[in-house]
Structure 1
Amino acid sequence: MDNASEETYDAVVVGGGAAGLSGALTLVRARRSVLVVDSGSPRNAPAAQMHGYLGHDGESPAELLAKGRAEVSGYGGVIRRGTAIAADRLPEGDFRVRCDDGSTVRARRLLVATGLVDELPDVPGLAERWGRDVLHCPYCHGWEVGRQRIAVLADGPLALHQAQLWHQWTGRTVLLAHGWTPGDEDRELLAALGIEVVDGKVSGLTVEDDRLTGVTLADGAAVACAALVVAPRFTARAGVLTSLGLPSVAVERDGRVLGTCVASDPETGATALPGVWLAGNVTAPMEKVVGAAAQGVRAAAALNADLVEEQARRALDHHRAAGTDGTPGPVPGR
């Protein structure tokens, strides 16, 4: 797209998941011109259902997003399929967003909700079952696989917490000491809870009739389970943000690096760069769908308030420059 004729929006929302679409809906209802640039690759695409979202429990993620796109479009928002790869801060304060097809678009403000990528443990067959019976969040999937035998792939100390947590849903939990071996005290705790510990590297998964039935160990032993719990590394999709000088930072828990995110104000989503807000997993890796949607609403409200304040300042400057004849003229910035 020729920059001389590029479109300009009050806000460009980068990312069309629950966070981005919720933010876009808030902005278009505030009568803002809004473009959503959506790569079409939401994090939860492998999951058939989502849970814990009041009024939408059991709905497919794809159905939720289809409804969201229709709602945003119904208020005049524009949804464009594509991948934003970078953005530039222009001298006058606006932003130019560059997409992978070579097109550009101009925005007065940015709301980035690009999410994250789950980097899974390197076990053959695991990625193909991700979001189905290879899982990580009990609040998302625990009810569906509960009361069955669940194995936790231990590749770090966090597995101890995972085993205890998932035990709430099943009572039939086994910890696979794949890359982390619990010490004596941890083993005593697990034994007290009735959680079995199996030593040995996991070498693969066993599947029958498209259902997980267990895992195999490097020594050939088999361990039966109906679901396998893993701890992925959460890596923020931060390309647009790093191009603006907003770096990814490590996310740590109990001394273990869980992944990366880009920092923002936890209440408003505001970043260190004026004019840029964040929502969803790109800034809050542990957030679920309903929380990401709420973040999108809060960030959009803060973004709109910032535009309102800018418009008021411009109106005042214009009014003062017009003198005292009582005819300030049209309000700039609309």
Structure 2
Amino acid sequence: MTGYEGQRRYDVVVIGGGAAGLSGALTLARARRSVLVVDAGEPRNAPASHIHGYLGREGTPPAELLAVGRAEVTGYGGEIVHGTVTAVERAAEGGFHVELADGHAVGAARLLITTGLVDELPAVPGVAERWGREVLHCPYCHGWEVRDLPIGVLATGPMAVHQTLLWRQWSNDVTLFLHTAPEITDEEYEQLAARGVTVVDGEVTGLDVTEDRLSGVRLAAGPVIPVQALVVAPRFTARAGVVAGLGLKATPQEWNGHVIGAHIATDPAGATDVPGVWAAGNVASPTDQVIGAAAAAVRAAAAINANLTAEETGRAVAARRAPFSAGAEREVCEKVLGDRRHGLDLPTAARDVGSSR
């Protein structure tokens, strides 16, 4: 990774070096923009052993994907530094002032926020320790890997039945642990029964692990129900604190009418309510898989480049129209008079006469 060059100003500073941040930086670097990626090294999918659903990269370890991405970005002249952004503020000269924990600071004409999110897990002993292994949440990310195994679903909110019926696609042996979720309806009980899902009352107090593999779920009443995978519903909380100083705050993220977390709201191209700031990836769309986060950042990067191009064109037009500009006068003379502006096409005597006037 490259370092800083004093107080250098970049066209774009990308805050976050995961799949989204690197994809956006790659697009910008190929557009011949000066771009700096500030990577805190805390990717959301670090606990996972592989990524899935990413065409051409199916089954790639997350760290490997990021290593390849960093090489591609720097190969086009983009810069990457390991660090944490501590503050962002408007710069007096325009753009933004970006401060890092190590004391360095850089300028940016535009910002792309790809800081991701934090998965707030249910407070059940053992869940955090098995997260990304046998404790899962996304069937499209991990369903194939636990197909046909006994799967438990830990109900903690109103989406539990929906989640359970979805996971039923990957296994005939699915158990819904009602745990702390609201009471389900008669219609939902009927749906679960029709799909052969077992429903277990009572609060879950912990997990059983055998030879470093999940083997069961323990209930407060005492029994252990055998499962080899446990599905949970984290609360998705955007890592948005770094841009709070710009007045950009996370807002509730809803799914099927229920709040599932918080995100930075953007338009379809990733633009936020703060001029000059774009956001992409899980910080803006918590339910995106890796490939979706990367694609969103590519769209945002293209929008940023177009925005910069429009601004640069406006400045160029203004400079061209500026009255009494020495540069503009010189350009007109060059086009209209050519060498005659210096009298070089006149006979020597004429030049002498002209110079004596």
Give the TM-score normalised by the residue count of structure 1: 0.94
Q: 1:231 aligns with which of 227, 230, 233?
A: 233
- 2:331 corresponds to 1:326: yes
Deviation at 1:253, TM superposition (A): 2.5
> Are 2:206 and 2:219, in contact at CA under 8 Å, matched by a contact in 1?
yes
> Are 1:318 and 1:328, in contact at CA under 8 Å, matched by a contact in 2?
no
Structure-1 residue corresponding to 2:216: 214
Structure-2 residue corresponding to 1:46: 47
CA–CA separation in structure 1 for the residues paired with 2:168 and 2:243? 39
Change (3 A) 1:328 1:93: farther
Deviations 1:155-201 (A, max 9, x none): 11201001000000112110001012323332122111100000111
Structure-2 residue corresponding to 1:205: 207
CA–CA separation in structure 2 for the residues paired with 1:68 and 1:225? 37
Structure-2 residue corresponding to 1:130: 131
Structure-2 residue corresponding to 1:257: 259
CA–CA separation in structure 2 for the residues paired with 1:100 and 1:179? 40
Structure-2 residue corresponding to 1:332: none
Partner SS, residue 163 of structure 1: helix
> Are 2:241 and 2:249, in contact at CA under 8 Å, matched by a contact in 1?
no
CA–CA separation in structure 2 for the residues paired with 1:291 and 1:324? 52
Deviation at 1:327, TM superposition (A): 6.5
Please show how residues 299-318 of structure 1 align to structure 2 within 5 Å. Answer: 299-318=300-319
Partner SS, residue 331 of structure 2: coil
CA–CA separation in structure 2 for the residues paired with 1:251 and 1:327? 57
Deviations 1:25-81 (A, max 9, x none): 000111111100000000000000010000000001110000000110111111100
One-letter code aligned to 2:304: L
Change (3 A) 1:319 1:183: same
Task: Please say which of residues 102-111 and 45-54 is displaced more in the overlay.
Answer: 102-111
Structure-2 residue corresponding to 1:191: 193
Structure-2 residue corresponding to 1:103: 104
Number of corresponding residues: 325
Please show how residues 1-334 of structure 1 align to structure 2 within 5 Å. Answer: 5-180=6-181, 181-266=183-268, 268-321=269-322, 322=325, 323-326=328-331
CA–CA separation in structure 1 for the residues paired with 2:256 and 2:26? 37
Deviations 1:304-333 (A, max 9, x none): 11111111111111112233431799xxxx
One-letter code aligned to 2:297: G
Deviation at 1:91, TM superposition (A): 3.0
One-letter code aligned to 2:258: R
Deviation at 1:5, TM superposition (A): 4.6
Partner SS, residue 169 of structure 1: coil
CA–CA separation in structure 2 for the residues paired with 1:315 and 1:255? 48
| Gaps in structure 2 of 5+ consecutive residues | 335-357
| Gaps in structure 1 of 5+ consecutive residues | 330-334
Structure 1 runs (4+) greater than 3 angstroms displaced: 322-325
One-letter code aligned to 1:290: I
Deviation at 1:239, TM superposition (A): 1.3
CA–CA separation in structure 1 for the residues paired with 2:136 and 2:278? 30
Deviations 1:243-278 (A, max 9, x none): 210111011234432110011112x10111111111
Looking at CA atoms only, which structure, 1 or 2, has the larger radius of gyration?
2
One-letter code aligned to 2:23: S
Quote the sequence identity (%).
59
CA–CA separation in structure 1 for the residues paired with 2:51 and 2:332? 55
CA–CA separation in structure 2 for the residues paired with 1:62 and 1:328? 59
CA–CA separation in structure 2 for the residues paired with 1:314 and 1:228? 57
Q: CA RMSD in A?
A: 1.6
Structure-1 residue corresponding to 2:339: none
Task: Please say which of residues 142-151 and 186-195 is displaced more in the overlay.
Answer: 186-195
